[in-house]
Structure 1
């Protein structure tokens, strides 16, 4: 799933304090914010919509990749090699 960037304004001193005390406990701020966003998503987005989004995401991940077409020079080299 593609990721978006969320930007907020927050009091600098409070943010420094959060980072300081989370760092003492080896807790990553990014991980905590991800958890909060997930809880907000689950709280506010109806279950059928979440299921739809998750099914779309899983279909995109399961979609087989088409093999790359050989370049014209590679195809030309194969023709030369097979005729030699």
Structure 2
């Protein structure tokens, strides 16, 4: 799925301190924010909507893998079991 960046403002000294202490815990601001956004998504987006989005992702992934398999098949060779070469 395509990703979009977001940005927020924070006081420089507070951000520097946050990064310092996160590093001591062997994590990063980006990791913590990604986890937090995932929790917000689960909390506020209805399950039916999440299921729909996930099904759309699966359909796109399926199409991509099928296209990749076809492009890796030599000309005249079947791209799956039971197919005949043309």
Instruction: Give the root-mean-square deviation of aligned CA atoms.
Output: 1.4
Q: How many residues align?
A: 68
Give 1 or 2 for the bigger CA radius of gyration.
1
Provide the C-alpha distance between the structure 2 equivalents of 1:37 and 1:22, rounded to a whole number of angstroms: 17
Runs of 4+ in 1 over 4 A off after TM superposition: none
TM-score (norm 2): 0.73
Q: Which runs of 5+ in 2 are unaligned?
A: 73-86
Q: Write out per-residue CA displacement over residues 15-61 of structure 1, whole angstroms, 9 at most, x where no aligned residue.
A: 11110001112112111110010011111110000000000001100
Relative contact order higher in (CA < 8 Å, ≥ 6 apart): 1
Q: Which runs of 5+ in 1 are unaligned?
A: 69-84
TM-score (norm 1): 0.74
The answer as to 2:33 corresponding to 1:67 is no
